[in-house]
């Protein structure tokens, strides 16, 4: 009897917490995106977006979650609560040149996303709060020829021309 009562209380508190959760209406997003480009210097590709969020109903300090490249992650919030950030790091081969949609969910949308994943349904049908497009131009792997190699070939070519001309003069 006590276990049933305790379980009922927990379920009631959970439902109350869901009902009191604030949601963002008509989100206005201002975002800045960044991705690493130089594969010759860094060992992994980083995709980062930072954004501000304004809700028409004035909702603030919302717990947000993001889905990028099939992975979900909590969205981090700045100390003052005005900016949010999503980042993803992976091997270069897992982050080719592409436009990556970053789908951002509030608590309710995140629960729907997890439910769709558990039931092996199409997660693309779950509507995000908003989506940010991150255009990643791919990785620059350096020049085809290293500058030291080009300089060495140039020096050998200059030496050969000078030596040939000198041989013509003495002949």
The 10s digit of each residue's pLDDT in 122-168 is 888 889 999 998 887 766 656 666 788 788 888 999 998 988 888 88
Distance CA 9, CA 3 (A): 10
Question: Is pLDDT at 16 greater than 50 in this prediction?
Answer: no
Torsion on CA atoms 98, 109, 104, 101, rounded to nearest 10? 10
Question: Is pLDDT at 13 greater than 50 in this prediction?
Answer: no
Distance CA 47, CA 24 (A): 25
Contact yes or no for 86/102 (Cβ under 8 A)? yes
Contact yes or no for 86/75 (Cβ under 8 A)? yes
Give the pTM: 0.65
Neighbours of 120 (CB within 10 A): 7
Contact yes or no for 134/35 (Cβ under 8 A)? yes
The CATH class, in words, for 23-140 is mainly beta
Encode the chain in three state secondary structure: CHHHHHHHHHHHHHHHHHHHCCCCCCCEEEEEEEECCECCCCCCEEEEEEEEEECCCCCCCCCCEEEECCEEEECEECCCCCCEEEEEEECHHHCCCEEEEEEEECHHHHHHHHHHHHCCCCHHHCCCCEEEEEEECCCECCCCCCHHHHHHHHHHHHHHHHHHHHHHHHC
The 10s digit of each residue's pLDDT in 47-105 is 888 999 888 888 877 889 999 877 889 999 888 777 999 988 877 666 677 788 899 99
Question: Is pLDDT at 14 greater than 50 in this prediction?
Answer: no
Note the pLDDT of residue 110: 92
């Amino acid at each position: 009897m006590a276990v049933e009562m305790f379980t009922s209380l927990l379920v009631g508190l959970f439902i109350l917490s869901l009902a009191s959760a604030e949601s963002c209406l008509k989100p206005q997003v201002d975002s800045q995106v960044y991705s690493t480009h130089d594969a010759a210097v860094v060992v992994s590709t980083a995709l980062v977006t930072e954004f501000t969020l304004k809700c028409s109903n004035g909702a603030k300090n919302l717990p947000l979650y993001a889905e990028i490249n099939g992975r979900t992650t909590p969205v981090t919030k700045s100390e003052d609560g005005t900016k949010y950030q999503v980042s993803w790091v992976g091997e270069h081969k897992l982050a080719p040149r592409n436009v990556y949609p970053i789908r951002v969910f509030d608590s309710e949308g995140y629960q729907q996303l997890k439910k769709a994943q558990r039931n092996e349904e199409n997660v693309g049908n779950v509507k995000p709060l908003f989506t940010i497009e991150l255009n990643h131009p791919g990785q620059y792997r350096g020049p085809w020829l290293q500058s030291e190699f080009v300089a060495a070939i140039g020096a050998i070519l200059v030496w050969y021309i000078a030596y040939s001309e000198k041989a013509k003069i003495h002949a």
